[in-house]
Structure 1
Amino acid sequence: MAVVAARLHGDPGRQPGDHRVLVDRLWPRGVRRAALDLDEWAKDLAPSTELRRWYGHEPERFAAFADRYRAELATPEQVARCGALLARAAGRRLVLLTATRDLERSAASVLREVLEAWPPEGPPA
């Protein structure tokens, strides 16, 4: 299954067979719910509020942020959520949508990597 991370702003829109998921914990400012073409909002898969605030999109913190977020995603509850998301998107392209400006250094890119490497190897060492 293909997993793609994309920005909401400048989004080319739904392609046939896409399963589109907003993966931000907070609803994007200035965006009406009816204006987004989504299949679901997976806010529980986003980084914790504490981690998100600590990171603050400061590029020098991204490596540590990514490690901490992967650790959050390795908890049994998050593993179950990731598995359920992949099951709902089975056979389709999974599009992870985010409002962040820096897609390469975002939670969506970390989540994409985790989902592409599914199933998980086990808890982090």
Structure 2
Amino acid sequence: RGIRKGALPYDLWAKDITPSPALRQWFHEDPVQRWPEFEQRYRIELDTAPTTDAFVDQLKDHKTITLLYASKDAVHNHALILQDYLTQRLRPENNH
């Protein structure tokens, strides 16, 4: 918190796998009530985004992956969904 992107050491900035602006705006109108549907819709976006497979491939050779995000709500945010999604996609049985 409070660190500018330019001052942050990171290996990959994957803005294209974040929720679409329309989905994010819809979700922020009522995060608690819309959380279950937001999770479903964001997973669909991840499954259908043309950049997701390439992103997952970039992560396969790394032992540790740290997701950085900015949110005031530690329970209702897209990073939690992305973490679960990546955990599933990066399981050894999914790395053919």
Q: TM-score range by the shorter chain?
A: 0.7 to 0.9
Quote the residue 1:111 is aligned against.
Answer: 82
1:87-102 paired onto structure 2 within 5 Å: 87=60, 90-102=61-73
Percent of pairs with identical residues:
33
Q: Tell me if the contact between 1:45 and 1:81 (Cα under 8 Å) persists in the aligned partners.
A: no
**d(CA) in 1 for partners of 2:75, 2:55:** 20
**TM-score, normalisation: structure 2:** 0.79
Q: Tell me if the contact between 1:66 and 1:110 (Cα under 8 Å) persists in the aligned partners.
A: yes
Q: Which structure features the higher share of strand residues?
A: 1
For residue 68 of structure 1, the aligned residue among 26, 32, 41 is 41
Letter in 1 for 2:31: E
Q: Which structure features the higher share of helix residues?
A: 2
What is the RMSD of the two structures over their aligned residues, measured on CA atoms?
Answer: 2.2
Following TM superposition, by how much is the alpha carbon of 1:103 offset from its aligned partner in structure 2, in angstroms? 2.5
Unaligned runs of 5+ in 2: 92-96
**d(CA) in 2 for partners of 1:46, 1:85:** 16
Q: Tell me if the contact between 2:17 and 2:49 (Cα under 8 Å) persists in the aligned partners.
A: no
Unaligned runs of 5+ in 1: 1-8, 10-29, 121-125
**TM-score, normalisation: structure 1:** 0.63
Quote the residue 2:57 is aligned against.
Answer: 84
For residue 38 of structure 1, the aligned residue among 3, 7, 10 is 10
> How many equivalent residue pairs?
90
**d(CA) in 2 for partners of 1:82, 1:51:** 20
**d(CA) in 1 for partners of 2:39, 2:51:** 15
